[in-house]
Structure 1
Amino acid sequence: MPIKKITALIVFITFLYNCDSPKTEHPKPQILPMPAHLESTKGEFILDNSVGMSYDDTFKVSATFLKEFVENGSSIQLQQNNSISFIQDDTILNDEGYQLTISPKQIEIRAKTDHGAFYAVQSLRQLLPTDFENGTFYQEKISIPCVTIKDSPQFKHRGMHLDVGRHFFSVDFIKKYIDALAMLKMNTFHWHLTEDQGWRIEIKKYPKLQEIAAFRDQTLIGSYNADPQQFDGKRYGGFYTQEEIKDVVAYAQNRHVTIIPEIEMPGHAQAAISAYPELGCTGEQIKVAETWGVFDHIFCSKDETFEFLENVLDEVLELFPSKYFHIGGDEAPKTHWEKCPNCQQRIKEEGLKDEHELQNYFITRIEKYLNSKGRQIIGWDEILEGGLAPNATVMSWRGTQGAIEAAKQHHNVIMTPTSHCYFDYKQSDNEDEPLANSGGFLPLEKVYSFNPIPEELTEEESKYVLGGQGNIWTEYIPNEKQLEYMAFPRILAMSEVLWSPTDKKNYPDFVARVDNFHQRLDALDINYANHLYEVDGGAATDGYELKSILKNKTIRYTTDGTKPSGTSEVYSGVIPINKDLVIKAAIFNADKKQGATFTQPITYHKALGKTISVNVQPSKTYSGSGIEGLINGISGSDTRVNDKEWLGFDGEDLEITIDLGEEMEISSIETRFYEAPWMWIYAPKMIAYGIKQNSLDSEAEIPESSDTHAIVKINLNETTRYIYLRIPNSGLIPKGKQGAGNKPWTFIDEIIIN
């Protein structure tokens, strides 16, 4: 046969072979949260109408979920064969662990329990096209990359919280929220059902809770700190019927999500007291709260109150089968207890020392009742005050100290500190960000950096840390789309923190997977904050540097305050600071801007880049960019303290030395302090200063703040190399204020030397 004909025949046979055996190039699997072990293998599994499943009743929930996901998401109908098999495997020690093996001929899911199998299904789900999520996959078959995944969670408690007291959300949305938790292998939904601003659960024995406590006459508009405050004048509220609760609980069970209800006590009870005034200490008729904050009307410690609460708990326990029950215990001012004859009599009868021990009595009594019903209590870390109830689990939110104290007492702990877990905080400096809680700033990277195990705990003590959760308080979240925006993508970071091994954590890799995951969120109609195309910046040794969390992006910038354009200078290295600057920067694709414009004013002054030392270090939670950040030319946020520039000191007197390196003429020293009593933050009353070592021979009074900032400017007109400052803590928080009797925080901003 001629060579040309042989060649043609080979080409034709190759063509036929390729037509019969299509091969798809699969990218590296992009699973969230990152599995403990993932290995890509050769080949692919073809999912089409010939594929079936085999399983027994052990895996009914997870197999049913997979069948419905495939059949509702596409035209593919699964048969009854063992192409996809669920196998019980007791060698997998973790109840939530699994092994997923995808080979060209079979998909095998091994797990000890249905919990583990369900999480294998969630990983398999992410290997399918996003069109399956909304039922728009129309092809007859799909190839799935061959992989082997061996996986189990790092922590037992992997949760998300939702406050429905401030703003109310529909049953359909609650189910959508639970769906998202299940997809991300989170196993707990903390449902915050009662608040000062609204009681959200039907209690048949007390109908006024539905008629009165579930509705408020109007709602605060805008910031709580506005003066004067504005209101919308519209009646607002709602509650979940017991039938709706049962429906949601069953829905969650079919996704292996446990719902932990929270009924607040003794504080955050104003709505309940508005319906039944006899539950309070004063007996006066009050309204459901219309603004945010902490209120003095809390449950009285008389027997009638406990009878009410036990009756409420009886009905709630019938609806929620969870082992744990959250009783709040936070932010309970003792103002009325101090004056209440019933409470003072209780203190006397029980031999209690003070109102803090009365709170311990209150919590312990409720705990005993719940223990008698086979349940365990969880409380916010305030339940440590006055002594910890015998079997309580502490949910540590005010930093990590509560968790450390509880774990050292061998109590279980769930970590949810404000610094890393409060998703009602702003997540970007973008000017278009929605109004949010002014207490802090929580970008995606900080959530991802969260380590639920405090370093102060020993290996043995750390075993009492059950896990953690993200919290969403809804004062400034009036609708579902905004709630999703605040939750996503930070919930993705929290899921990986709680599920994946610490040594697997890699932020750049995580960000790349988040970018990919956006397509799935789009298909699920989940609104999310996309800050991946934003520029960030910070002080460097010899100037200011810009960066992007996505690799290989072009950043263009200006230094005169004008908006960057496609012709602006391309960032290539540290920007020198030798005068006042207003840096504006953005990511560009060619000449097209992507994402928001980043803005950073910089004040040039004589201490910039010099040497600074302090007698005490700032709190780890509020350490900003370190002590050097006090003289880096960058001022802190005007609206929050949890940023990269404000430094927080927890009750200490502060002594600062600035070494200018050489003698200089100094005309003034200027700085400012944060003032937010509701956050236990008070500006100092005075500042001592001097230019000679060990000689603070002058004082300057710090004027009272007109908003949240107390500004002090000291005119000096001296020549010196050194500047010495002493900033005393403002003293114990007075009675009647939040945190009364404790030393407050001191927050200090940039120290400007002219």
Structure 2
Amino acid sequence: MKKTSCVLAIALCGLTAFAHGATPVNLIPMPAQLSVNGQGFTVTAQTPIVVDSGDADARRTAEYLASLTAHTRHLQLAVKTGVPDDGAIVLKRDPQAPVANAEGYALDVTPQGIRITARDEAGLFYGAVTAWQLLTPSQGSGDVRVEPVHIRDEPRFAWRGMMLDSARHFWTPVEVRSVIDQMAQHKLNTLHWHLTDDQGWRIEIKRYPELTRIGAWRTPPTVGKQPQPARYGGFYTQDDIKAIVAYAAERHITVVPEIDMPGHAQAAVASYPELGVTGTRPPVSVDWGVNPYLYNVDDHTLQFLQNVLDEVMALFPSTYIHVGGDEAVKDQWKASAAVQARMKALGIKSEDAMQSWFIDQMGTYLAAHDRRLIGWDEILEGGVPASATVMSWRGTQGAIDAAKLGHDVVLSPAPQLYLDQMQSDLPDETTGRLPSMSLQSYYDFEAVPKALSAAQAKHVLGMQANLWTEHMPTMRHVQHNVFPRIAALSEAAWTPTKEHDWRGFLDRMPSQLARYRVQDIAYADSAFAASIDTDRNVAISSGQANVKLSNQAKVGSLHYTTDGREPDASSPLYVRPFTVKLPTTIKAVALAADGTPLAEARTRVLDLPSLRTRSTGELENCPGSDFRLRVQPTPDATSMAPTYLINVFDNCRLYRAAKLDGIAAIRVETASLPRNYALAHEAKLVKAYPSATPQGELVVRMDSCKGKQLASLPLPTDQPATFTLKGDLAKQAGTHDLCLVFTSPITGPIYGVGAVTLVPADKPAP
């Protein structure tokens, strides 16, 4: 494929336009080998999909291709059996197919038609997915001309995964199937399904009905006098799970269940208190983070968990069963005389070694049933069963250590492959953790650490993106965080490293985005969205703004307007920064070469009030802690906005470089947010500030959080969901940082700042 060249003015060469002339082969992931030569083929409604008679597996794949093409291209293709004539799409299993493994396939497009061959049904299926992409090179319907491509393809990694967390937020079976559908279209083959945690037990275990009668439900937290929300939860019946596993298998996706142990056990202990260490019944947790409840280590609990695993193994035919093993804070074990006595009887010297023994019991049990244990990298602590596979999430060091010990590994590090990391710092971004992980960071991720030798690298099974859903309460949130980053992951996991080409990937993205749109996938356009920047203080002083436009991926041509109209290809092309007089409204959009928007147009109002206002995402952390989290007013919100950027360790925000000349007052849009964060040993890091009243104040200080106090705004006593704080600001001159500190008790709510506005003396504070 030709690399694109800069077709805009020299000043715009930081942005790469999509290739003109030769049409890119719009496939994601890019095949291992691809050439384009000869003449292509036009697929019409008269083009059949032909399979051998008696090959039920091939027919199932053919019907999948026909269904997907009908849905996304409105092109109805009939499936037939027998010897194909010219002018057909042929799917054929052939033991002599020119591929190396079961997931490989060959695909050729000639004037006689499209022919896909593979040794196994999995390869035939992936060939069909590639054929579907060839049939959807751009948004449209009906007949389609297919390029004369010749493909020999197979995946780089055997494990190409995504983890779906159904414990923190429950996804209906229909929603789970929608995730599986998209995984299949991206040639991912492993769904790691997180089914149990402190906040919910989601899998029916017939022997232990309390796990779902009690453990599947929680009552969300409230603040002050806010109304009590409805109980939240749900679970999958065993029939639900059987149907989902079968649905995934038809798309060549293995579902690997996760039953967390020995930590993240609060929902189970809430259901059966005798499983816990203290013997008391806690509620199902409403707190995100690291909760204290562990399973105890007596024979009854081990037997209980093995009985659970019996039912899990009956539902999931996967080789691997995930047992978690992460974030098991050992405080309860350390404080328990019974646990300490058990350790002494076993000759175990430390709680970490006790966890290793615990995990080894499960690994041995699984091995006796021809299954393999996989767990998060904490299972390395204190020793790990020889047969265990390690999923490295705390960076890549766990994978390096495990592979050097001879264990198979899956790379799934935070934050690089955590889909709950935000995709950008744009003001309209939704919930998630920071720092942001961009589309390119996913594309560039290398799953084989350089620290491994060639022999050790063979233990790397592959890579996986993790979708933790604490801050994704709806499927729209999920889709926003997953797409299009999952496309970048799919190419990183499938395509040989030497074929990776970030700019080529961007060339192919417009077609992929069109496929998302036609399937009503609410993908994020963060990588392509226009950012509209100016120096606020210069604009305030001069009455005019010097405007710079850009986007994260540096792709597309940027067009803008200053007259309120929506920008399109006929609007001015951004070449270099430009100057506008205040007030002006700028709208900007990035366009592909064919004029198709790569993102929704972004708008920025440039006037004095807006320039003196900082939204939640424009406020910084106060010095001392870099933890940043963007949340919504309630943990189970059903909308995408509003959002508030908070630091759970320090309820303090920084307004940088405030121009204070002539400023007389301050207005702060504020929200009371639940402090539902279990911080375990890090709770001691939460910062408290002295207050003048029981409920606390918002104190504004100049230059630093210990600087001169400019204002103190009392917090309300009745704790409404949202409120506005406003008051006089001591007169100052010049440009200064403002530190906004909430002095409220750290046992109460966290206060989120939606926006801060500085009000000049000649304007009343609204």
Q: TM (normalized to structure 2)?
A: 0.69
Residue of structure 2 in register with 1:234 after alignment? 230
Q: 1:676 to 1:453 in 2, by over 3 A?
A: farther
CA distance in structure 2 between the partners assigned to 1:263 and 1:462 by the alignment = 28
Residue of structure 2 in register with 1:443 after alignment? 438
Q: Which of 180, 185, 188 is 1:186 aligned to?
A: 188
Q: Following TM superposition, by how much is the alpha carbon of 1:114 offset from its aligned partner in structure 2, in angstroms?
A: 1.2
Matches within 5 A, 1:397-476: 397-436=393-432, 438-476=433-471
Q: Which of 29, 34, 39 is 2:35 aligned to?
A: 39
Contact 1:430 / 1:597 at 8 angstroms: preserved in 2?
no
Matches within 5 A, 1:538-577: 547-548=550-551, 549-551=553-555, 553-554=557-558
Residue of structure 2 in register with 1:596 after alignment? 602
Contact 1:534 / 1:597 at 8 angstroms: preserved in 2?
no
Amino acid at match of 1:553: S
CA distance in structure 1 between the partners assigned to 2:321 and 2:699 by the alignment = 43
Residue of structure 2 in register with 1:162 after alignment? 164
Q: Following TM superposition, by how much is the alpha carbon of 1:27 offset from its aligned partner in structure 2, in angstroms?
A: 3.1
Contact 1:406 / 1:413 at 8 angstroms: preserved in 2?
yes
Q: Residue deviations 1:463-520, cap 9 Å, x none?
A: 1111111111111111111111111111111111101111222222212322221111
Q: 1:428 to 1:681 in 2, by over 3 A?
A: farther
Matches within 5 A, 1:300-449: 300-436=296-432, 438-449=433-444
Q: Following TM superposition, by how much is the alpha carbon of 1:85 offset from its aligned partner in structure 2, in angstroms?
A: 3.8
Q: 1:230 to 1:31 in 2, by over 3 A?
A: farther
What are structure 2's unaligned runs of at least 5 residues?
1-20, 535-546, 579-585, 607-617, 630-676, 688-697, 709-766
1:86 matched to 2:102: no
Matches within 5 A, 1:708-723: none
Q: Following TM superposition, by how much is the alpha carbon of 1:431 offset from its aligned partner in structure 2, in angstroms?
A: 1.7
CA distance in structure 2 between the partners assigned to 1:34 and 1:167 by the alignment = 33
CA distance in structure 2 between the partners assigned to 1:252 and 1:418 by the alignment = 26
Residue of structure 2 in register with 1:479 after alignment? 474
Contact 1:50 / 1:78 at 8 angstroms: preserved in 2?
no
CA distance in structure 2 between the partners assigned to 1:550 and 1:57 by the alignment = 47
Amino acid at match of 1:287: P
**Matched position secondary structure for 2:214:** helix
1:99 matched to 2:106: yes
Q: Which of 202, 205, 221 is 1:203 aligned to?
A: 205
Contact 2:415 / 2:421 at 8 angstroms: preserved in 1?
no
Q: Residue deviations 1:359-382, cap 9 Å, x none?
A: 001000111001101100110111
Q: Following TM superposition, by how much is the alpha carbon of 1:143 offset from its aligned partner in structure 2, in angstroms?
A: 3.4
**Larger RCO (CA within 8 A; separation ≥ 6):** 2
1:275 matched to 2:271: yes
1:525 matched to 2:531: no
**Matched position secondary structure for 1:450:** coil
CA distance in structure 2 between the partners assigned to 1:45 and 1:303 by the alignment = 66
CA distance in structure 2 between the partners assigned to 1:235 and 1:301 by the alignment = 32
Q: Following TM superposition, by how much is the alpha carbon of 1:243 offset from its aligned partner in structure 2, in angstroms?
A: 0.6
Q: Following TM superposition, by how much is the alpha carbon of 1:178 offset from its aligned partner in structure 2, in angstroms?
A: 0.3
1:54 matched to 2:51: yes
Q: Following TM superposition, by how much is the alpha carbon of 1:462 offset from its aligned partner in structure 2, in angstroms?
A: 1.2
CA distance in structure 2 between the partners assigned to 1:677 and 1:472 by the alignment = 21
Q: 1:569 to 1:416 in 2, by over 3 A?
A: same
Contact 1:535 / 1:547 at 8 angstroms: preserved in 2?
yes
What are structure 1's unaligned runs of at least 5 residues?
1-24, 222-226, 576-583, 601-633, 644-674, 686-704, 716-754
Q: Residue deviations 1:555-612, cap 9 Å, x none?
A: 7799xxxx9999x99876799xxxxxxxx9955779x996436999xxxxxxxxxxxx
Residue of structure 2 in register with 1:146 after alignment? 148
**Matched position secondary structure for 1:246:** helix
Residue of structure 2 in register with 1:113 after alignment? 120
**Matched position secondary structure for 1:189:** strand
Q: 1:413 to 1:34 in 2, by over 3 A?
A: same
CA distance in structure 2 between the partners assigned to 1:40 and 1:95 by the alignment = 25
Q: Following TM superposition, by how much is the alpha carbon of 1:297 offset from its aligned partner in structure 2, in angstroms?
A: 1.1
CA distance in structure 2 between the partners assigned to 1:409 and 1:564 by the alignment = 62
Q: 1:109 to 1:383 in 2, by over 3 A?
A: same
CA distance in structure 1 between the partners assigned to 2:240 and 2:427 by the alignment = 39
CA distance in structure 2 between the partners assigned to 1:194 and 1:528 by the alignment = 27
Q: 1:327 to 1:281 in 2, by over 3 A?
A: same
Q: 1:598 to 1:347 in 2, by over 3 A?
A: farther
Q: Following TM superposition, by how much is the alpha carbon of 1:285 offset from its aligned partner in structure 2, in angstroms?
A: 1.6
1:128 matched to 2:124: no
Q: Following TM superposition, by how much is the alpha carbon of 1:332 offset from its aligned partner in structure 2, in angstroms?
A: 0.7
Residue of structure 1 in register with 2:65 after alignment? 66
Q: Which of 265, 288, 303 is 1:292 aligned to?
A: 288
CA distance in structure 2 between the partners assigned to 1:557 and 1:341 by the alignment = 71
CA distance in structure 2 between the partners assigned to 1:52 and 1:564 by the alignment = 47
Amino acid at match of 2:462: G
CA distance in structure 1 between the partners assigned to 2:532 and 2:407 by the alignment = 41
Q: Following TM superposition, by how much is the alpha carbon of 1:129 offset from its aligned partner in structure 2, in angstroms?
A: 3.3
Residue of structure 1 in register with 2:644 after alignment? none
Q: Following TM superposition, by how much is the alpha carbon of 1:435 offset from its aligned partner in structure 2, in angstroms?
A: 2.4
Amino acid at match of 2:61: S
Contact 1:156 / 1:467 at 8 angstroms: preserved in 2?
yes
Q: Residue deviations 1:219-274, cap 9 Å, x none?
A: 247xxxxx989885320111100011000111111000000000010111100111
Q: How many residues align?
A: 581
Q: 1:28 to 1:551 in 2, by over 3 A?
A: same
Amino acid at match of 2:64: F
Q: Following TM superposition, by how much is the alpha carbon of 1:679 offset from its aligned partner in structure 2, in angstroms?
A: 9.7
| Sequence identity percentage | 37
Q: Residue deviations 1:289-344, cap 9 Å, x none?
A: 12212111110011110111011100110000000000000011111101212211
Q: Following TM superposition, by how much is the alpha carbon of 1:92 offset from its aligned partner in structure 2, in angstroms?
A: 1.6
CA distance in structure 1 between the partners assigned to 2:414 and 2:521 by the alignment = 24
**Matched position secondary structure for 1:213:** coil
Contact 1:557 / 1:571 at 8 angstroms: preserved in 2?
no
Amino acid at match of 1:161: M
Contact 2:31 / 2:153 at 8 angstroms: preserved in 1?
yes
Q: 1:130 to 1:308 in 2, by over 3 A?
A: farther
CA distance in structure 2 between the partners assigned to 1:274 and 1:252 by the alignment = 32
Contact 1:425 / 1:442 at 8 angstroms: preserved in 2?
yes
CA distance in structure 2 between the partners assigned to 1:230 and 1:246 by the alignment = 40
Q: Residue deviations 1:630-667, cap 9 Å, x none?
A: xxxx9966796589xxxxxxxxxxxxxxxxxxxxxxxx
Amino acid at match of 1:171: P
CA distance in structure 2 between the partners assigned to 1:682 and 1:505 by the alignment = 45
CA distance in structure 1 between the partners assigned to 2:678 and 2:205 by the alignment = 37
Residue of structure 1 in register with 2:78 after alignment? 77
Amino acid at match of 1:31: L
CA distance in structure 2 between the partners assigned to 1:681 and 1:452 by the alignment = 33
Q: Following TM superposition, by how much is the alpha carbon of 1:131 offset from its aligned partner in structure 2, in angstroms?
A: 9.6
Q: 1:149 to 1:58 in 2, by over 3 A?
A: same
Contact 1:88 / 1:111 at 8 angstroms: preserved in 2?
yes
Amino acid at match of 1:147: V
1:263 matched to 2:259: yes
Residue of structure 2 in register with 1:503 after alignment? 498
Residue of structure 2 in register with 1:212 after alignment? 214
Q: Following TM superposition, by how much is the alpha carbon of 1:521 offset from its aligned partner in structure 2, in angstroms?
A: 0.6
